[in-house]
Structure 1
Amino acid sequence: MLIAVPDGPRPGARAAFRGWRARRPFWGGLLLALAGGEILLTEKASLKVVMHIGMQGLAGYLLPSLMALLGLLILFNPAQRLFYSLTGVLLSLGTWVTSNLGGFFIGLLLGVTGSCLTFGWLPDQEPRVSRRKRRKQARAAARTVAEGAQGTAA
């Protein structure tokens, strides 16, 4: 039995995930989704009590649910990131009133931070090069220049 092996090295799951993550505002979406989940977990009232209270109680569950949804939408549909981030920051600030001071400030701060990271993300940026690679490239360039200078002097 003969198995065909592709010509080049096959990227692993980690490299594929890294490439997927680089093409979207990953950390902003993740923080916004986590903020919605954290605020939902800090809610103490049962759904029966919420229905008895009315719209104010329902907003305590609705806003963090929408925050979690917006975080996921940022991850899977980054083309609309500006609208999602602006809506996310407004919802995060709205949880101050509706959901235990925004999940005891933690969810509020995570939501605002995630929304700001998403708003500031630019899709056309070059991938960051680590400091080690930059130093290695600078040393190689300096070596090339030094060898060129020695070659012209001789």
Structure 2
Amino acid sequence: MSAESSDLRGSSDIPGPPGPFTYWRLRFRTWRGTRPFWAGLFTLLSGLPIAYFPYAEVKIGGLTLAMATTAGAGSLIIGVLLVTLGLTMWFHSIVRVFAGVATILLALVSIPVSNLGGFLIGFLLALIGGALSISWMPGVPAAPGAEGRSRHEAPGPDGAGDRLPFPGSRDGEDPNVTDTTAHANGGRNSAG
């Protein structure tokens, strides 16, 4: 049997149904895109070192080094709250701004309470997670038939064909009017 005949017999131009791995990967990808996923992950991971280090015992040879402090309970509470805020960012993204601010405040409180915020590991992860949560915005679905073009377009370099986005125009305005055009209304035409 030649290589060509095996290729023709085994290949098909019609793709088969996606496997279970592809199905779940695409579902996870869609779920991840509708919420501040990375903010929740960083926040969740920040709670682990903050809660762990005050209770950890490191053995170096025959020497046991314990990081137990009087603030161990405070570290545990901060760590559990950060893990909870990370899960809240995932499953209740509507409160993402509150969760982000609370995460940053807990990160700052963890510096004096729990061994410099889990030796700065948990502190930095919490700051990144909180900032990502505050800055995350849900995406706006594309209008049907928009085909990737914006409402504000100007002609391409040759005057026709491809159209480039024009940042200064608004609905009902002439895209050829610029901010430097001398008009009594500040460079905008009377249609806007």
Deviations along 1:8-47, one digit per CA (max 9) or x if unpaired, are x56610000000000000000000000001222222369x
State the 1:125 CA deviation: 4.6
TM-score (norm 1): 0.67
The aligned counterpart of 2:49 is 38
| Map 1:69-80 → 2, pairs under 5 A | 69-80=84-95
| Map 1:19-34 → 2, pairs under 5 A | 19-34=30-45
State the 1:84 CA deviation: 0.8
Bigger Rg, structure 1 or 2? 2
Q: Distance in 1 between matches of 2:141 and 2:108?
A: 32
The aligned counterpart of 1:112 is 127
Q: Distance in 2 between matches of 1:68 and 1:61?
A: 11
TM-score (norm 2): 0.55
Task: Decide which of 4, 13, 16 is 2:27's aligned counterpart.
Answer: 16
State the 1:65 CA deviation: 1.0
Structure 2 residue runs without a partner (length 5+): 1-16, 58-67, 143-160, 163-192
Greater CA drift, 32-41 or 111-120: 32-41
Structure of greater relative contact order (alpha carbons < 8 Å, 6+ residues apart) = 1
CA 1:88–1:13 in 2, change beyond 3 Å: closer, same or farther?
A: same
Q: Distance in 1 between matches of 2:32 and 2:90?
A: 9
The aligned counterpart of 1:99 is 114
Percent same amino acid at aligned positions? 36
- Size of the aligned set, in residue pairs, is 119
- Does the 8 A contact of 2:51 with 2:78 survive in 1? no
Deviations along 1:46-90, one digit per CA (max 9) or x if unpaired, are 9xx77xx4xx43212111110111001111110111111111110
- Does the 8 A contact of 2:82 with 2:106 survive in 1? yes
- Does the 8 A contact of 2:39 with 2:130 survive in 1? yes
Which structure: greater strand fraction? 2
- Does the 8 A contact of 2:50 with 2:78 survive in 1? no
Q: Distance in 1 between matches of 2:53 and 2:100?
A: 23
CA 1:126–1:39 in 2, change beyond 3 Å: closer, same or farther?
A: farther
RMSD of Structure 2 on Structure 1 (CA): 2.8
